[in-house]
Structure 1
Amino acid sequence: MSDRLFIFDTTLRDGEQVPGCQLNTVEKIQVAKALETLGVDVIEAGFPVSSPGDFKSVVEISKAVTWPVICALTRAVENDIKVAAEALQYAKHKRIHTGIGTSDSHIKYKFNSNREEIIERAVAAVKYAKKYVEDVQFYAEDAGRTDNEYLARVVEAVIKAGATVINIPDTTGYCLPDEFGRKIRFLKENVDGIEKVVIATHCHNDLGMATANTISGIQNGARQAEVTINGIGERAGNTSLEEVAMIFRSHHELNVETNINTQKIYGMSRMISSLMNMPVQPNKAIVGRNAFAHSSGIHQDGVLKNRESYEIIDPKDVGIDENSIVLTARSGRAALKHRLSALGVELEQEKLDQVYEDFLKLADRKKDIHDDDILVLAGAERSTNHRIKLDYLQVTSGVGVRSVASLGLNIAGENFEAAASGNGPVDAAIKALKKIINRHMTLKEFTIQAISKGSDDVGKVHMQVEYDGHEYYGFGANTDIVAASVEAYIDCINKFC
């Protein structure tokens, strides 16, 4: 009989800490419901004490989701724990995730403390959390660089205090797989009461070993994997949910099963990519554009004769339907709704109608409509309630002439117009925009990404603007890259105006 591996998804907490990936509460609820359909066991919904927005999101996700455990992160601080408990009040199954750094580096430089005091603080935090919930998870931050004997002492103490799950994070992504596996095995063999709790892994990808470390930890006794969709997360990211799920689906000899509905993986991946404005690299395992592409003649011949010659995963097992409906200007609402649903996006009829109208306009300008195109359209609908909207844009540009742009903005129902020249069409358009929005803003980052390879495809623009000492991220998408750039800039402005 196979062992059960619990999947703990932290896309909405660790994943959302990536600059530019912040979601609003409505979007977080959409993601949480999709994660529930995907089959994750635990959803880490946020860090409630960190901001009113995070607190509200944990509250609303707790109301919206039925069977997964809803988890809230805290530090080993009483007020953090109290606020987390309040945010979880509506959760059907609730968990408080508290902890403290245990490596000598954290103890000395982060806490200016000593090993004995850290154990006391860890025990006190777990005991305080137990006053509010029965299910308490403890994290030993930077466990990857923590001395094993001392780590065992900390873990044994918090188990006696009432912890139900013990999280062993490789916070800096430093460990080698065999080293991390030995750490888990050491705890299994040397901690009194370890059989009463679930050991969790939380691995970062700084050296590209997050998934390998997670698998090694599981092979040595861990039974909860902390992961994110597409491996997003701080710095180089976290362990990818899709990689862990498909490794155990492919390697039956490991005798480990998850509750993940793998056919939902591709749609979930695209949904997160679109909502968080985080492109999936083409060669990303499982969900990248090239994950099932074969360009070598020898490989193509082998796949045509027998798919398993070069593919260990059937694309349909992760939700990639090779015979999916092709969307064109003649497609109806039903076809669009079907494809959005396959990608994890459910829209009410009124919103679907708005997206469909935009879809028809795009289909008239493009030969092929890709999944990313319609996700961009579905995402663009989120901007309809913005205070500032682009009304029109006209640009004159060419070789040997100075670019000139004129544009109109609708600001809270009032129309404004301006024109400016600049060093290129984008520069001219943004200068015209700044004439209307008379604020001192500095463009810090400007990234253009083509969704695919055609000259008529949608371009996605990501911008970072600094205003009043704070940084704001914006996103725009359009077949006209100048318009996409202006939309991204406006998206930034709407976040502080």
Structure 2
Amino acid sequence: MSNKIEIFDTTLRDGEQVPGCKLNTAQKLKIAEALDSLGVDVIEAGFPISSPGDFLSVTEISKVVKNATVCALSRAVKKDIETAAEALKYAVKPRIHTGIGTSESHIKYKFNSTPDKIIEQAIEAVKLAKTFVEDVEFYAEDAGRTDNAFLAKVCSAAVKAGATVLNIPDTTGYCLPDEYGAKIKYLTEHVVGIEKVKLSCHCHNDLGLATANAISGVINGARQIECTINGIGERAGNTALEEVVMILRQHPALNLTTNIKTRQLLAMSKMVSQEMGMFVQANKAIVGDNAFAHSSGIHQDGVIKNRETYEIINPSDIGVTESSIVLTARSGRSALAYRAKKVGYELTKNDLDIVYLEFLKLADNTKEVKDDDLHRLIEMSKARLEINI
């Protein structure tokens, strides 16, 4: 089995379903070209049947993307599939992503159907999509809550009908990592023709487990992860692209790789945040403002002496210039001396002892001591110190 994990980005489809994050075609084209440059393997450009605007966006993205596969979503509905195919007609590498709900809940309440009829619809959808494109991805919606034996039966039928990728979504974010991993492993052992297709993880973050589930999935045999920049998406969001990519990079023992150019991750995160008006929380893993910021004196001293004492990722690997030493009331002398040197002051040990006492008084009354504050603090103390300017 290959050790290459393909990255399927659905920022422009699942990510854009977040309330208030609607993008126009120009914005989608800008993000799509950046994703192509980033090195994603598949860009899910949209859901063409959903609106004329989405159809136009998928069509225009198909024209400009040069390296990645361009994918369009559809339901297991004839008109959906035909519209997706039409929108993809300019794509160098087109993929139709079609499927249907497979859990007992979806079959009974969403479709008012039966397991046998669901399998028939899945087969018909894949066969129709196959008449338009060679690359057809089948999704078993709510696979996370679908009985494994039935899920394997549906997937086997989809493979026989011509599917090239099997998407196993944890649509409601319900699965625990060991459960999701076991589901993927079960499918690798029970889907007829599994050696001809690729299993894909599409995990939601309702319980905060999307990233963990995706990693468990690839450890157990999946070879594609469906994700979004900054983890945006329906409800609590999707698997975060930057998280899974860096987990695989930082754990070489897994022997799993991606084509992502990680030094572009921070810029990509900021672009999506700006275009969608969706702020990234400061403590967000990898790309949050605080991901490489240190305010505790113990941590600061360790990082100043050797970055790896408290950082497992080199900031430059994701496009961050350097770690941030933030001055607060929890900061120690080494952090104060470090920041003072950054703004032009070489403090002797005696200087530092005096300035530090004044610094603590200021820090106790403010959230963070900035460079301007530091200048004023040191300048006021200059008459009593031996500071080298």
TM-score interval, smaller chain: 0.7 to 0.9
Q: Please list the CA deviations of residues 154-178 of structure 1 after superposition, one character each: whole Å capped at 9, or x if unmatched.
A: 0000000000000000000000000
Q: CA RMSD in A?
A: 1.5
User: What are the residue-to-residue correspondences of 1:282-321 with 2, within 5 Å?
Assistant: 282-321=282-321
- Aligned residue in 2 for 1:322: 322
User: What is the distance in 1 between the residues matched to 2:317 and 2:227?
Assistant: 20
Q: In the alignment, which residue of structure 1 is the partner of 2:29?
A: 29
In the alignment, does 2:81 pair up with 1:84? no
More helix by share: 2
Q: TM-score, normalised by structure 2?
A: 0.83
- The alignment status of 1:138 with 2:138, answered yes or no, reads yes
Question: Is this contact kept in 2: 1:2–1:255, CA < 8 A?
Answer: no
- TM normalised by structure 1 equals 0.65
Contact 1:47 1:74 in 2 (8 A): yes
Return the letter of the residue paired with 1:202: H
More strand by share: 1
In the TM superposition, what is the alpha-carbon distance from 1:323 to its structure 2 partner? Answer: 9.6
Are residue 12 (structure 1) and residue 23 (structure 2) matched? Answer: no
Measured in 1, the distance between the counterparts of 2:252 and 2:306 equals 21
1-structure distance, mates of 2:36, 2:320:
20
- Matched residue, 1:161: 161
* 1:249 paired to 2:245: no
Determine if contact 2:200/2:222 at 8 Å carries over to the other structure.
yes
Which of structures 1 and 2 has the larger relative contact order (alpha carbons within 8 angstroms, sep 6+)? 2
Paired AA for residue 263 in structure 1: R
Alignment of 1:121-200 (within 5 A): 121-200=121-200
Q: Is the 8 A contact 1:98 1:137 kept in 2?
A: yes
In 2: Cα distance, 1:312 partner to 1:279 partner:
25
1:118-176 Cα distance to aligned partner (Å, 9 max, x none): 00000000000001000000000000000000000000000000000000000000000
Gaps of 5+ in 1: 325-451, 455-497
Q: Which letter maps to 1:104?
A: E
* Count of residues in Structure 1 that have an aligned counterpart in Structure 2: 327
Paired residues of 2:292 and 2:323 also in contact (CA < 8 A)? no
Query: Structure 1 residue 190: deviation in Å?
Result: 1.0
Please say if residues 200 and 225 of structure 2, whose CA atoms lie closer than 8 Å, have aligned partners that are also in contact: yes
Whether the 8 Å contact between 1:2 and 1:257 is mirrored in structure 2 is no
Residue 2 of structure 1 deviates from its aligned partner by: 6.8
1:45 aligned partner, one-letter code: A
After TM superposition, the structure 1 = structure 2 runs for residues 28-427 of structure 1, keeping only pairs within 5 Å, are 28-322=28-322
1:440-459 paired onto structure 2 within 5 Å: none
Classify the secondary structure of the residue corresponding to 1:302: helix
What is the rounded CA distance, in whole Å, between the counterparts of 1:305 and 1:193 in structure 2? 54
For residues 92-133 of structure 1, what are the alpha-carbon distances to aligned partners after superposition, in whole Å with 9 as ceiling and x for unaligned? 000000000000000000000010000000000000000100
Which secondary structure does the structure 2 equivalent of 1:138 belong to?
strand
Amino acid at match of 2:297: G
Shift of 1:67: 1.1
* Deviation for aligned residue 1:191: 1.3
Aligned to 2:346: none
The answer to whether the Cα contact below 8 Å between 2:315 and 2:323 also exists between their aligned partners in 1 is no
Letter in 2 for 1:93: K
1 CA distance for matches of 2:170 and 2:2?
Answer: 26
Cα distance in 1 for partners of 2:323, 2:149 equals 55
How far residue 322 of structure 1 moved from its aligned partner, in angstroms, is 2.7
| 2:182 partner amino acid | R
Moved over 6 A (4+): none
Identical positions, percent: 69
Give the letter aligned to residue 141 of structure 2: E
